Structure 1
């Protein structure tokens, strides 16, 4: 019996590996995929993955839904952008069937689904992506230099923050520029939150040494930072202004 060479063995190993990869792709397309959660700060750009992508599944449709909509709205229909949507100019379809959205606003949060077709028949199951949008707003800075910052996570389905029972373990909190979490025990800050709506507010009186000081609102999922928004104080003489920016991760 002829013994196989090392090259032949390696070739068979590669074929076996390719076979397993192909089988995995087929199983994913038929049995469904896990829902994805994507976090982004308002004003940023985001890519929503199509986790049931298969090279033979073309074209792609992306329906979208929020709590305010009774029915899903198609943003992409069979690979073509719908022109009658308000976000038409901010959308694009990636080569891997992902959905790209630029200049994210709080109105973009919601449930997105990737559907793929062959000969106008849906193939596989929907790949669902939940988009969560983090946004910070502020009150006008008062004469006494008091400011209130409100940080909210817009989510669908609505998640509960600071809920240890939730499997997603989503938490909102404020940190200083050193990355230290601000707590209610610090007399300088008044921290209040509404876990049911994922809102956390920070109130403080600005001091002279607060010029260029940063406070950052972060959202974590299972103790990992997903996105954040930074608030920076700018002072010049008697004038005080602010800058809210997205922190890249």
Structure 2
């Protein structure tokens, strides 16, 4: 009877582990935006980091675990070893985080080839924003990006949460209360504005994807939109996207009213084009009128001798012709 109870208890433990996945109560979850630096704590570290081993696992990216740090020394064979470093407290630093860095990081301690204590799990979740290439004159995939695009065109921004927890993504998102929002500079949810089309989805690599689509206006230049990640109603991280029009785009897409001003000196001519394209008002300053008069006088002074010379030549030729006719 006791043996049957032990088997039942073991079965319940296995079933519980399958339902909850790899992520446990004591596991740490770190949320970071791509392009930033992050430090992952090693809660089971010994006094000497020479016993520390950091391994990375993500079955979506690698079929096996990858050993990043061995005996306190980073493995140079890894594709991102240049961005990794170890702190004095054995924490793992990752510089310039990318979407490919998401996954499970485990800190282990080995003394004389024997593991000491249990693994310290840290799940790294990365928030990233990308812009639709078809709506941009120059592609951009960095967070807090400034992309040169032009008004009048449709732009689509995709905010993606890269997550790997070992459990079904939808279940984990619901149980943890994760939510992505597009907001403006004042923090107002853009879902309340009809000019923005916002939709949500997910796939095996991204637990949440929220897209924003809108047609750009002239006044959107230097406008900032933010994608925010909330965990149980608490803001964890955000990514900024700033619209930046090029000078060429401004000049070719400007609409009325247009103000053209040349102010190199006080005698400049200022032209103002009103809302009605047919109404043009030109104002000439006193300085510019003086310069015009001076220019005309100078031209007259230089032209007068030439005119007199031509009159003399013509008169002489006419006199010669008259004398010839009289001789005949």
TM-score bracket, shorter-length normalisation: 0.7 to 0.9
1:135 aligned partner: 128
Structure 2: gaps of 5 or more residues: 1-23, 137-149, 251-328
Q: Answer yes or no: is the 8 Å Cα contact 1:162–1:195 preserved in 2.
A: no
- What 5-or-longer segments of structure 1 have no aligned partner? 1-31, 241-249
2:194 maps to: 187
Q: Which has the higher strand share?
A: 1
Instruction: Report the counterpart of residue 186 of structure 2 in structure 1.
Output: 178
1:45 to 34, 37, 40: 37
Distance 2:105 2:180 in 1: 23
Tell whether 2:129 aligns with 1:119.
Answer: no
Question: 1:206-221, aligned counterparts within 5 Å?
Answer: 206-221=216-231
Q: For the structure 1 residues 215 and 190, does the alpha-carbon distance in structure 2 shift closer, same or farther, using more than 3 Å as the test?
A: same
Question: Which structure has the bigger radius of gyration?
Answer: 2
Q: Deviations over 1:46-79 (max 9, x none)?
A: 1011122233675100010112222111000111
Say if 1:56 and 1:76 are closer, same or farther in 2 by CA, change over 3 A: closer
Aligned pairs for 1:155-170 (under 5 A) are 155-157=163-165, 159-160=169-170, 166-170=174-178
Cα gap change, 1:194 to 1:161, in 2 (>3 Å): farther
Shift of 1:155: 0.5
Distance 1:71 1:200 in 2: 30
Matches of 2:177 and 2:237, distance apart in 1: 15
Change (3 A) 1:83 1:104: same
Q: CA deviation at 1:150?
A: 0.3
Contact kept, 8 Å, 2:49 with 2:88, in 1: the verdict is: no
Distance of 2:247 and 2:171 partners within structure 1: 39
Q: How far apart, CA to CA, are the structure 1 residues paired with 2:229 and 2:131?
A: 18
Distance 1:33 1:181 in 2: 32
**Correspondence for 1:5:** none
Distance 2:186 2:38 in 1: 27
| TM-score, reference length from structure 2 | 0.59
The one of the two structures with greater contact order (alpha-carbon pairs below 8 A, sep at least 6) is 1
Structural RMSD (CA): 2.2
Checking the alignment, whether the CA contact within 8 Å between 2:49 and 2:89 is kept in structure 1 is no
Paired with 1:162 and 1:63, the residues of 2 have a C-alpha distance of: 23
Q: Which has the higher helix share?
A: 2
CA deviation profile, 1:140-188 (whole Å, cap 9, x unmatched): 436732110000000102633995xx331111110111001121x5310
The answer to which of 228-237 and 94-103 deviates more is 228-237
Where does 1:196-235 land on structure 2 (aligned, <5 Å)? Answer: 197-235=207-245
